[in-house]
Chains A and B, each alone.
Chain A
């Protein structure tokens, strides 16, 4: 059973005026439990508008979002409950820190779910272990932390609600390579610890190749492709046409093929690439 289904979702800005503009137009897809779905698309393609519907921050102009087969807007008064089940981490989430201590900032979400102090304490500590925030940091002001630490605290604030689906809008933007690796590890660890479903918007095709099970490609508000990573990244020309690309390592293999080497061009990570080259090397006798 799909944990999340999006059916014919349309979102129009400036409705009922001559400036009506569909930011998202008739988009349908389903996400399976435990899966990592990557969303890619050029700036302004509707990615962020799309994900803001998933936990009810935006209401569809048309269409439905079903969480565990139930329309999230079935009872609008209950929409806050959905927000603890489907967590959304915005772009540059560290700008949203506001509490006096790291502990209260992380605890803010779960506290609003009505959890007891003991349970709050337990959750904050548990999440700190996943995101790598040291216990001695909990009484510090979040504003005294470094950029990378602030982002981890902000992500922890969403994770502490233990959402079943967690959505990230460009979680690694503006970070250095080590910071990026760190965030990717946190996302994987959270998914593993809670058997969670993950949806990630990213501009890095290389990261998507490493992380995602499936990819959803947005273009000008429309769903352009929704398929496995392999099937999406094997359509390089189509992706380039809409301002995207394939991972660099794939481009190297496209070039190799063009140079007349008989390789499987469908490699998207360095590990796959090395394995493919080893295969060719081993099999060169009968090639």
Chain B
């Protein structure tokens, strides 16, 4: 079995104003070990509810979520689940607890009851893996948003989780900060083999993922490789989403009669595709 997380027929209901709402409707999804999955969906589509199910912060009303074969409903193994699946949220300021970077990163491993030498080792490794080792003695509030968010990620990495779930970690960052986070996540995924589940509203952040899952009204409406998902421009727009600007350009070119394919995403490849299309016209 290669699935780290298995979501089986999961429904999530909650009561608000005396009415029953269904945030997730009979959903099935498997997350493969070592994969990089991006979840897209408009506000209120159920993405965040789903993310919180991956480490048992939300428990299904019906159905089961299995992490490494363990059911998140099982109270005795609740802590094991949270160690296996670490979460990072939108606002870095709400996630940092200590006044010195390395102490903040050490908070998790300390609470795992590890030996001091092991904590030291994990903190150093975690800070190196997010590229923040040289800031280990800084105070978090003097860092930029992107740097703070990387510290928050290091704090999770130091607990050696199998999977990182990030709920809009770049929403409050500037373009450079966003790029730093995406580069860090790709490195953790490709080099350290950590499974990544990223929720985002920035379509271009989905470009390098292995897989994109699109949610709408608590259900999965599309699931596939980024280039396959984004080529359905009309479908995405109909559920309040968008496509990366590269796809938008190819799509508009197609509408204007250029012979281009819309299932490519990277700037380099799109430029090549356009070049080819222009030469084709010349002949």
**B-contacting residues of A (Cβ < 8 Å)?**
41-44, 144, 146-148, 173-179, 203, 205-206, 243-245, 247-249, 251-253, 255-256, 258-261, 270-271, 273-274, 277-278, 280-281, 284
Contacts and interface: CB of A to CB of B under 8 A. Distances in A.
12 contacts: A147-B43, A148-B43, A176-B42, A177-B241, A203-B174, A244-B175, A248-B244, A252-B267, A261-B275, A274-B253, A274-B256, A280-B278
B79 interface: no
Nearest to B248: A270
B204 interface: yes
Contacts of B168: 174
B146 interface: yes
Contacts of B253: 274, 277
Interface in B230-267: 240-242, 244-246, 248-249, 252-253, 256, 258, 267
A175 B201 contact: yes
B221 interface: no
A278 B256 CA distance: 8
A177 B240 contact: yes
Interface centre among B42, B175, B241 (most CB of A within 10 A): B175
Contacts of A205: 175
A249 B173 contact: no
Contact of B144 (A42, A176, A179, A280): A42
A256 B249 contact: no
A278 B67 CA distance: 52
Contacts of B134: none
B46 interface: no
B75 interface: no
A270 B240 CA distance: 19
A259 B274 CA distance: 10
Give the secondary structure class of B's interface. Answer: helix
Nearest to B251: A270
A119 B176 CA distance: 46
Contacts of B175: 203, 205, 243-245
B18 interface: no
Contacts of A178: 42, 240-241
B145 interface: yes
Contacts of A273: 249, 252
Contacts of A249: 245-246, 248-249
A19 to B, nearest CB: 12
B38 to A, nearest CB: 14
Contacts of A43: 144-146, 173-174, 177
Contacts of A247: 245
B275 A271 contact: no
Contact of A259 (B17, B41, B258, B272): B272
A43 B42 CA distance: 26
B267 A274 contact: no
A176 B240 contact: yes
Nearest to A206: B245
A50 to B, nearest CB: 15
Contacts of B146: 43
A203 B170 CA distance: 11
Contact of A179 (B43, B245, B282): B43
B76 interface: no
